[in-house]
Amino acid sequence: MLTIFINEHGRLRSGWRAAIFLISFLIISAVFIFVSITVLSQLEFGESTTSYLPLIVPFTISAIIAILLGWLCGKLFEGLPFRAIGIAFTTGWLKNLAAGCAVGAVALTSSIIIAVMSGGMSLTLNRVSSTSAITTSLLSTLLIFAVGAASEETLFRGYLLQTFLRSKLVWLGIAFTSLLFAFAHNNNPDVSRLSWLNTLLAGAWFGAAYLKTRDLWFPLGMHLTWNWLQGPVFGINVSGITEFSPDPVFRATDVGPAWLTGGSYGIEGGLACTFALVVSTVIIYYLPTLKPSAEMLRLSEPPA
């Protein structure tokens, strides 16, 4: 009977560890985010960067809880140090973050090139908004996308994926966290079957990035750059949301077909995105310059 709960190493099985982490995260984050939203709702925000606080604060709370809870579960259930989560400033973290930004930029840009070359999308410089408005939009949304990417990566590619990896269930972990990642976008505006499948594929894309370096800096850079370039730079809806690009550098006009360009959901809802994600996943696998450090490899492998 004990084998249902305890593995051959005398530790709680990964499924139970993941369940405890996820349920605890949902309860704790719901409480703290509810309190923060209640407090913020009593404040008045003008037309400035402070108006983004109702987004920034919950994202920040979510990331902090995912990090601390992941560290606590790792320590209690697996005897792991804080560094195992993959968000510490270990050797090579900056290189991995920069590489992630580069991969995210190339992947997003390639999907847009496909949409433009097909005639389904056109880009023009934004000559309506002032330079100061564009600069403010770029800087403020950079902060939003940074904390947003951090909240999702620490949750889905943090302890939740990593504890399956240490139990030799990496494909189950990627499938499970990718499904959760896709379901988390179910209520986005104009979501479609193809956009949902692309989000599922993006979850596997980020999972492959974590496996490449065994830290969260590489997928974090990919996630941040993809969203930031998509919205405030190219002026495309980010997962159906228009508020993230009030004054973009470019203005995108999408004439379809939606199955290719994504339509009102943004480029993530079309086959141009599907192609970019598949190709860049293969590129990530064969990147010769990125590999995990000996310490991170040891902390993410099954116990001897």
The 10s digit of each residue's pLDDT in 279-296 is: 999 999 998 889 999 999
The angle formed by the CA atoms of residues 53, 58 and 62, to the nearest 5 degrees, is 145
Q: What's residue 123's pLDDT?
A: 92
pLDDT single digits (tens) 20-43:
999 999 999 999 999 998 988 887
Residue 199 and residue 185: Cα distance in Å, rounded?
A: 8
Tokens of 173: 């972990």
Query: What does the pLDDT average to over 235-255?
Result: 87
Given pLDDT bands bounded at 50, 70 and 90, which one contains residue 209? very high
What proportion of the chain, given as a percentage, has pLDDT over 90?
74
Q: What per-residue confidence (pLDDT) applies to 236?
A: 92
150-160, pLDDT tens digit by residue?
999 999 999 99
Q: Judge contact between 285 and 297, C-beta under 8 A.
A: no
What percentage of the chain exceeds 70 in pLDDT? 96
- Beta-carbon contacts of 21 under 8 Å, excluding residues fewer than 6 positions away, are 69, 70, 73, 159, 160, 163
Let me know the angle formed at the C-alpha of 213 by 209 and 216, rounded to the nearest 5 degrees.
Answer: 70
pLDDT at 45 (0 to 100): 61
Pairing status of strand 121-125 against strand 250-254: antiparallel
The string of DSSP letters for 278-290 reads: HHHHHHHHH-SS-
The pLDDT assigned to 148 comes to 94
Residue-wise pLDDT for 40-54, tens only, equals 888 776 555 556 788
- Model pLDDT, residue 2: 59
Measure the N-to-C terminal CA separation of the chain; round to a whole number of Å.
24
pLDDT of res. 96: 96
Region 82-86: what's the mean pLDDT?
A: 96
Mean pLDDT, the chain, whole residue set: 92
Query: Sorting pLDDT into bands at 50, 70 and 90, what band is 113?
Result: very high
DSSP β-bridge partners for residue 254: 121
Q: Calculate ∠ Cα 21-53-196, nearest 5°.
A: 55
Q: Give the pLDDT score at 48.
A: 52
Q: State residue 54's pLDDT score.
A: 82
User: Tell me, what's the pLDDT at 121?
Assistant: 93
Per-residue model confidence as pLDDT tens digits over 115-142: 999 999 999 999 988 899 999 889 989 9
DSSP β-bridge partners for residue 121: 254
